[in-house]
Structure 1
Amino acid sequence: MMRLGYEAMTGILLALLAAVSWGSIVFISNKLGGDEDSQTLGTTGGALLFAIVVFLYKRPDLSTLVWVVGFISGLFWSLGQKNQFGAVRYLGVAKTAPMSTGLQLIGTTFFGVFIFKEWQTKMNIIVGIAALVLIIAGALLTSLNQEGERGQTKNLKKGLLVLLISTVGFVGYVVLIRWFNIDGWAAVLPQAIGMVTGAFLMTLRDKPYNKYAIRNILTGILWSTGNLGLLLALPRIGVATSFSLSQTGIVISTIGGLFFLNERKSKKQVWRVLLGCLFIIAGGVVMGVTKR
């Protein structure tokens, strides 16, 4: 029993490490500059550097299955990240982060609960759904438009389409690793190679080899820290709980977009966003209860 408690607590802390790391990505990449192509390419470059260091340190066994699944998972991620960066152009950081989170949570929770059967008791299901509702409600609150914004409907439709594509990529990247029970330490290098390959192919036409791509290597190292945390949390607390907890970091990017990137909001919207952040934090805390 003590062992299970320790494993669950470790998994929760690892998922929260991912939350802090990932919650800073969209905000930091925006501050570093560049378009979605240079940001994606730079991020994958940083992820590959991180993966090489981890591989040399841990020396994990890499079977053919690990290489194939990890590589494909990385391709999915590059699809998700490029389109998430692209959505910022239409929605801004403060809207993109929470909306993206809500869509990803729906996808990963579906697989976690209905495919992997991670919530097996009635109490788990009740508490888990309550937590998910809180997080999604918070995401919706933070993403509501200001009345009278010019072109808001058109931009919202374009942004949502881009985010749907992004969601497919992010959900596929997480679910594949869990489906084949790939060890987190072993997955890092193949996954990073898949990420770089995907980013290179998707940005090849625009040739984003510039200073912004180099700057965003820092974004990749930050992302990789969170990624490793999530990969190690998956076998401990499952997809539904670990991914939901990892997404509570959108509070960082949302507040960063409001107060440090000067994304214009009315006073009413600011309070709505802050209330949404409180909902998200509460949801993350409640989600942790499903693994008590």
Structure 2
Amino acid sequence: MNIIIGLIPAIAWGILPIVVTKVGGRPVNQILGTTFGTFLVSIIVWLFMRPTTTTGQFWLTVLSGAAWAVGQYLQYMAFQRVGVSKAMPISTGLQLVGTSLLGVLAFGEWGGSVERLVGFIALVIIVVGIVLTTLDGKKRGNEARTQSVWPTVAIFVLSTIGYVAYSALPRLANVSGWQGFLPQGLGMALMALLLALFTAGPKVLSEKVTWLSLLDGLVFSIAALTYLISAQRNGVATGFTLSQMNVVLATIGGIVVLHERRTPRGLVWTVIGLVLVVVGGIVIGNMAA
């Protein structure tokens, strides 16, 4: 039963990109719907759980939610630029690398020399897997490749910084997942609102697709809540490892459900790359035990 609970976050986070793409809209609509939906669910959870935080913990966690909103907004942009099946392995792999390096450099994780060696080997495996998922077997001119790749690379890098901050700030604040859920939801919604007003203006709030995108927030909230339960029942290492299986579902869903085209050779590279990302994630997840 605990393993089933542990797989629910993977399923929910795996179908989130599919739901977001099917609901449609621009990234600004999608991030508003996702964050507003999450904030509403976080209020309901707070009314039942009533966790307490200090003022400092509260605002640090609000900031982490704001960082996540920036990262997720950029990920939604990546979905539209390169598709879900390409964006998810890259985004997940970079998050694993970024959070792991931060854990080593800032929080003193992987203390032993052998543990660090295994950890860095796992990171190399993940990076190789990321590269393989981007291969499609097509030949392009150097100029066209440069023009198309570098803006997307920038989006992924900045998105990863947002996700890493989202993971790191609650650790600095020393709050549990239940304590951080409401302030993170608040930070997500406030940052999304600022992004929307800055990039699209107030009219985006009246667009139908913005409010249909509340479904995205419901899916994300299911993943976030069940991940908290999984971490309690299965432990952080197992819970984290199981949740990372979302990249497999999202990538396959992008190809099968969203009909994103890949060459036969590109499909083979994608499968191999996914396997490497998942293996690297499993190794890192178990090192967190």
Deviation at 1:225, TM superposition (A): 2.9
CA offsets per residue over residues 43-87 of structure 1, 9 Å max, x none? 001101210121011111132123211211111011111111012
Q: Aligned pair 1:136/2:127, yes or no?
A: yes
Matches within 5 A, 1:40-189: 40-148=31-139, 151-189=144-182
Moved more, 136-145 or 88-97: 136-145
Residue from 37, 47, 51 that aligns with 2:28 = 37
2: distance between equivalents of 1:280 and 1:36?
26
1: distance between equivalents of 2:245 and 2:126?
8
Quote the residue 1:223 is aligned against: 220
Q: TM-score, normalised by structure 2?
A: 0.85
Q: How many aligned positions are there?
A: 279
- 1:91–1:155 CA contact under 8 A, matched in 2: no
Quote the residue 2:281 is aligned against: 284
- 1:132–1:244 CA contact under 8 A, matched in 2: no
- The gaps in structure 1 that reach 5 residues or longer are 1-9
Residue from 15, 26, 42 that aligns with 2:17 = 26
Q: CA RMSD in A?
A: 2.7
3-state SS, counterpart of residue 111 of structure 2: coil
Over 3 Å counting, the alpha-carbon distance change for 1:257 and 1:165 in structure 2 is same
2: distance between equivalents of 1:14 and 1:69?
29
2: distance between equivalents of 1:120 and 1:17?
32
Deviation at 1:103, TM superposition (A): 2.1
Q: TM-score, normalised by structure 1?
A: 0.85
3-state SS, counterpart of residue 53 of structure 2: coil
Q: Aligned pair 1:208/2:210, yes or no?
A: no
Deviation at 1:37, TM superposition (A): 0.4
2: distance between equivalents of 1:271 and 1:168?
29
Deviation at 1:247, TM superposition (A): 3.5
Matches within 5 A, 1:255-270: 255-270=252-267
Percent of aligned pairs with the same residue? 36
Quote the residue 1:196 is aligned against: 189
1: distance between equivalents of 2:285 and 2:99?
16
Deviation at 1:229, TM superposition (A): 5.0
- 2:136–2:267 CA contact under 8 A, matched in 1: no
- 2:93–2:277 CA contact under 8 A, matched in 1: no
Residue from 252, 268, 272 that aligns with 2:249 = 252
2: distance between equivalents of 1:149 and 1:229?
43
Residue type of the partner of 1:162? I
- The gaps in structure 2 that reach 5 residues or longer are none
2: distance between equivalents of 1:243 and 1:276?
20
1: distance between equivalents of 2:12 and 2:70?
20
2: distance between equivalents of 1:37 and 1:97?
19
Moved more, 264-273 or 193-202: 264-273
2: distance between equivalents of 1:139 and 1:247?
14
Over 3 Å counting, the alpha-carbon distance change for 1:291 and 1:70 in structure 2 is closer
1: distance between equivalents of 2:62 and 2:53?
12
- 1:119–1:125 CA contact under 8 A, matched in 2: yes
Over 3 Å counting, the alpha-carbon distance change for 1:78 and 1:289 in structure 2 is closer
Residue type of the partner of 1:159? T
